[in-house]
Amino acid sequence: MATLYQQLSRKLTEQIQSGLIQPGEKLPSIRALMAEHQLAKNTVISALNDLEATGVIEAKPKIGYFVKPPEHANNNVPKQHFPELSRQSISLSDVFHKVMAKEAAFDILPTDKHHTPSNAILSLNKHIRRAFREDLHYRTSHYDTPKGNQTLREQISLRYRLRGVSINADDLCITAGCQHGLMLALMAVCQADDTIIVESPAFYGVLQLLAQLKLNVIEVSTNPVTGLDIDQLQQALQTWPVKACVVTPNFATPTGSLMPNHHRQALIDLANKHDIAVIEDDIYGELAFNDSVSALKTLDSQQRVILSSSVSKSLSRDIRVGWIVAGRWQKQVEQLKLSSLLACSSSIQAGVAAFMQSGDYRKHINIMCLQLAQQKRQLLSLLEQYWPHESRYTNPDGGICLWVELPQSFNTQALYQQLLADDIVITPGMLFSHKNDYQQCLRLSFQHAFDDKRKVVIKHIGEHINKHLV
């Protein structure tokens, strides 16, 4: 009969082989395994030693145990960075504003404006033009309601139901984009000098909001594949009083990470235990290349998850239509929207609602996901062909970007400055941390097709990198 440590060893092996715990992912801590399986500390350590001896896992001093990738696996994934946990106020450099001024959010060639609009965009514009003509006098002399267009909210609700998320139209409030929704969420939950947990690397838009609202931040490590590190999150929550955690479970920028279901549940359990708000950025939730992905909100039993999203990544950045589902803070969010924005454009909302009702949005999403998956493969192929073999990069299953790690000595901020002379704009890694981390990293987008111009640009960037590494 197997001993207790052998039984645990087998259970963990089965979870790894079934994909429940992914290669490169960190195992639960010894204390968590003791609590979950009701075992003594020495029994858990014996099981972990057994797995390490057989090459299934590997230990990293002072960090924990990780699933060892099989020998045939792609070892080019960027390493997980573990920032020292600290609570700090935010001071952002001028590079933030300079990069955004160059429209560098997701295009290496922002000056190239020779694009043919898709049939979906043409259809969207047609619906918006029609909406502007209808009820012209009323719409030009009245503001929209605080919640926003009823039909649009119903259509957004239907999209979430297709992903297994039960959100009613009355739960939704229309915003001027996802960033606006995140700001409303933070304003509803926090006051100046409160502390917020963010992922590291973090979405720089969130860092900008925290700085503007005079909030403190704790950067918590994320795995480039599986997202937020639950053990570090727990450690931070045990050390400081925290008001909220901002997280992107689905294809987060900049890494493209996708949070496994058991990590999502662990996050919700910690939020319930420590009574914090979870602000979910779901802007990439529709952009899954394979099976659809749910939202963290679906696990929310205490109305503490605030979901924010928009159509800016899935449809158009120009129309500024987003939404927020704020749970227990819904009333405050609607009041904050009234005081900060008053109302969103009723004509644009009506046009987007009609576009969704027509079925063209569903068709557009299906086509876009196929295109994005193909463009990601193109980009990975170009990186393998032209960039140094020491490069590490993620291979996300959705979203619009991936994360590149170059040798430790490389400085992507310097590369950013050099490439500006050629009208090429990269997104350097230092933008994704208020601590100036990730100097050797950068984010690349595959949202645009890699035509001949962009292929040449990727090759040109690779030549710059190779030149400096020699």
Domain positions in the chain: 4-67, 104-115+365-469, 119-361
Residues paired with residue 403 on neighbouring β-strands, in sequence order: 443
Q: What confidence score (pLDDT) does residue 105 get?
A: 60
Q: Domain 104-115+365-469: state its class.
A: alpha beta
Q: What are phi and psi of 247, to 5 degrees?
A: -145, 145
Q: What confidence score (pLDDT) does residue 73 get?
A: 46
Q: What confidence score (pLDDT) does residue 247 get?
A: 98
Please give the mean pLDDT across all residues of the chain: 91
Among all chains, which residue has been given the structure tokens 């924005």?
341
pLDDT value at 222 more than 90: yes
SS3 of 323, please? strand
Q: What are phi and psi of 409, to 5 degrees?
A: -75, -10
Q: What confidence score (pLDDT) does residue 455 get?
A: 94
Which residues, including other chains, have CB under 8 Å from residue 122's CB and lie 6 or more apart?
A: none
Q: What are phi and psi of 211, to 5 degrees?
A: -65, -45
pLDDT value at 277 more than 80: yes
Report how far apart, in Å, the C-alpha atoms of 126 and of each of 310, 347, 350, 358, 360 are: 20, 12, 12, 12, 12
* CA angle (382 as vertex; 381, 386 as ends), nearest 5: 125
Kindly state the helix (H) or strand (E) to which residue 199 belongs, with its residue range. Answer: strand 195-200
Query: Is the CATH number 3.40.50.720 carried by domain 4-67?
Result: no
Out of 3.10.20.30, 3.40.640.10, 3.30.70.1400, 3.40.50.80, the CATH code matching 119-361 is 3.40.640.10
pLDDT value at 103 more than 70: no
Q: Report pLDDT digits (tens) over 298-319.
A: 999 999 999 999 999 999 989 9
pLDDT band at 136 (very low <50, low <70, confident <90, very high): confident
Per-residue DSSP letters for 344-371? --HHHHHHHHHHHHTTHHHHHHHHHHHH
User: For 207-232, what is the mean pLDDT?
Assistant: 96
Q: In terms of Cα–Cα distance, which of 118, 447, 62 is closest to 235?
A: 62
Distance of alpha carbon 61 from alpha carbon 63, whole angstroms: 5
Q: What does pTM read for this prediction?
A: 0.84
More confident residue, 103 or 140: 140
Q: What confidence score (pLDDT) does residue 310 get?
A: 97
Q: In terms of Cα–Cα distance, which of 346, 329, 60 is closest to 185?
A: 329
